[in-house]
Amino acid sequence: MIRRLALAVLGVFVLGCQNSAPAGDEEGASAADSSGGDTTANAPTSGTTGDASEARYTYYRDTKAILDKHCAICHRPGDVAPFSLETGEEAQMFAGLLAPAIEAGTMPPWPPSSECNSYEHDRSLPAADRELLLAWIDEGAAIGDPADAPPAGPAAPTIAWDLDMPLPEPYAATAAPDDYRCFVLDWPEDQLKYVIGFDVAPDVRPIVHHAIAFLIPPSGVPTYKNLDAADDGPGYSCFGSPGGGGFSQQWLGAWAPGTQPSLDEKRGIPVQPGSAIVLQMHYHPMAAGGPADQTRLKLKLADSVEVPLHVIPFTNPNWLSGDTMKIPAGEPRTVHEFEVDLTGFLGDFFPQAGVKNGEPFVLHDVSLHMHTRGRRASLELDRAGADDVCALYIPDWDFSWQGGYKLREPLTVQPGDRLRLTCEWDNSAANQPIEGGVQVDPVDLFWGEGTGDEMCLSILTISPVH
Ligand code: HEC
């Protein structure tokens, strides 16, 4: 749906471009002219200096590096974004469309608020780059001289993956615009291993919107094999979580376009022989029955690690049943909040994590999970006798851009500290999903795994204090 909107906007822009050379606006006129292929005095293509009419900023000299790093990783041919920003001509042609998205902070997509905490692999646009891009667009998006192009940055380090696991069979999406499908991947190792590196290699890039890998312990594997067997075709239909009820599954990692491969030699998630992985794919095709996708999950393994990690769900257990997490139909703002001193019972609930009751633990990665009516969510640490710490705040929840965030500085949670999870939903008529081309009517929402249900959950990667 979002993509269609973007394309509609794009259509209007391109149409507008063909017949509008804004009168009396020299900069606008030069951009429109040169996007048509003409060379004008205002769009210098030679490296001459000292000409008063020359643009202060040019693509090659000033903005190529920013666009390459922050935009073209998705905006390139065959990738998930609807148009390419890989060349100066493309960037110039779409310049008028870029400013609103840059100003609104919606592009590049990076959901966490930077005022809350800082994370590895932060994809947001630094303020100086943002200002430079906007100034370049504002003064006509000149292309400039290719000789000014920045040197190519260092190539991303290649990781020698130990496991390269394709979906068991290619799958052609059977629903549009959203198809959520889970695939069970057998775990091939026969010794305990730690997952220290994670990546997803999408196959049909334009339609793979996100992928979440869940680790299923050996005792849970039959449940998921049965779900798979009960559904026709490769994998099985699922939404939000891999189904199967309960919390026996652990998050192993999440991927959305732009996510960089992660590798940390010191920390890893233990996987027992006999486990399985359920890879949940969110396909976002324009139409059903497109090319079949066979995305691959890539993992780096180690026999031992300094810091064994464990991933746990954090939520109010009462929300899972009854009407305690009711989100009334038509309500534009419903908030549910839960806080607790987790150190009191971690040992009872998650003995595998190796943290005994009453002991501190370290919080490494954080994420939040709601469904499509979610508006915003946060995870905070209410420190006993000290200032609160914000761990993660997603001010504008978008189900399609979920991710896990690695704290630059892990947080130690002491006995007496309380973790607070807050979720807000908009269940008004205007914020309902479109199903079969029709916007559904609001109904009371409760906790559940379907598209017509909601969740409020934080996923925490923790370790004992070392
Ligand atoms: C992580 C991938 C990714 C990155 C990085 C990214 N985009 Fe996008 N962009 C998309 C996708 C996907 C869409 C289609 C709409 C959607 O799904 O949200 C889009 C749509 C757009 C649109 C259409 C209008 C809109 O807001 O939907 C503009 C303009 C845009 N991007 C500009 C940019 C600019 C400028 C940058 C860099 C500063 C950038 N994008 C970085 C993925 C990305």
pLDDT computed for residue 39 by the predictor: 34
| CB contact at 8 A, 233 and 195 | no
How far is the centre of ligand 1, averaged over its atoms, from the C-alpha of 193 (Å)?
37
Q: Assign 202 a pLDDT band (cuts: 50, 70, 90).
A: very high
> What pLDDT score does 196 carry?
97
- The Å distance, Cα 94 to ligand 1 centre, comes to 12
Per residue in 406-429, pLDDT (tens digit) is: 999 999 999 999 999 999 999 999
Q: What is the pLDDT of residue 53?
A: 54
Is the distance from the beta carbon of residue 208 to the nearest atom of ligand 1 less than 6 Å?
no
- What letter does residue 119 receive in the DSSP assignment? B
Which residue, chain included where needed, has tokens 């974004």? 81
- Residue-wise pLDDT tens digits, 13-45: 333 333 333 333 333 333 333 333 333 333 333
> What is the spatial distance between Cα 350 and Cα 115, in angstroms, rounded to a whole number?
31
Q: Is the CB of residue 427 less than 8 Å from the CB of residue 375?
A: no
Domains 163-306 and 310-464 share a fold: yes
Q: Which residues are CB-neighbours of 67 under 8 A, at least 6 positions away?
A: 59, 85, 91, 133
Whether the predicted pLDDT of 399 surpasses 90: no
What integer pLDDT is reported at residue 247 of this predicted model? Answer: 62
**Both tokens of residue 389?**
């710490």
Is the four-CA dihedral 328, 397, 96, 24 of positive or negative sign? positive
Instruction: Report residue 132 as tokens.
Output: 């430079």
Determine the distance separating the centroid of ligand 1 and the alpha carbon of 431, expressed in angstroms: 21
How far, in Å, are 216, 224, 247 from residue 220 at the CA level? 6, 7, 10
Q: How far is the CA of 452 from the centre of ligand 1 (A)?
A: 28
Radius of gyration (C-alpha) of the chain in whole angstroms: 24
Closest by CA position to 462, among listed 421, 423, 422, 419: 419
Q: What is the pLDDT of residues 354-396, one digit of tens each?
A: 899 999 999 999 999 999 999 999 999 999 888 999 999 999 9
**Which class does domain 310-464 fall in?**
mainly beta
In this prediction, residue 49 carries a pLDDT of 35
Expressed in percent and rounded to 5, the helix, strand and coil fractions of the chain are 25, 30, 50
Q: How far apart are CA 117 and CA 112, in angstroms?
A: 8
> Where along the chain do its domains lie?
2-148, 163-306, 310-464
* pLDDT confidence tier of residue 352, bands split at 50, 70 and 90: confident
Q: In the prediction, which pLDDT does 127 show?
A: 94
Q: How far apart are CA 134 and CA 131, in angstroms?
A: 5
Q: What is the reported pLDDT for 2?
A: 38
80 lines ligand 1 (CB under 6 A): yes
Decide if pLDDT at 325 tops 60.
Answer: yes
**Contact status, residue 192 vs residue 246, Cβ threshold 8 Å:** no
Tell whether the model's pLDDT for residue 405 goes beyond 90: yes
- pLDDT digits over 265-280, tens only? 999 999 999 999 999 9
Q: Which of 460, 388, 387, 372 is nearest to 423 (CA)?
A: 372
260 pLDDT band, cuts 50/70/90, is confident
Task: List, for residues 83-107, the tens digit of each pLDDT value.
Answer: 999 999 999 999 999 999 999 989 9
Whole-angstrom distance, CA of residue 10 vs CA of residue 101: 12
Can you read off the two tokens belonging to residue 267?
């920390």
* pLDDT for residue 246: 63
Q: What's the pTM value of the predicted model, to 2 decimals? A: 0.82
Class of domain 163-306: mainly beta
Q: State whether the beta carbon of 106 lies less than 6 angstroms from ligand 1.
A: yes
- For 47-74, write each residue's pLDDT tens digit: 333 333 577 999 999 999 999 999 999 9
Best of 3, 14, 107 to mutate for ligand 1, by most ligand atoms within 8 A of CB? 107
Rounded CA-CA distance 378/358 in Å is 25
Q: Does 307 contact ligand 1 (Cβ within 6 A)? A: no
Residue whose Cα lies nearest atom 33 of ligand 1: it is: 107
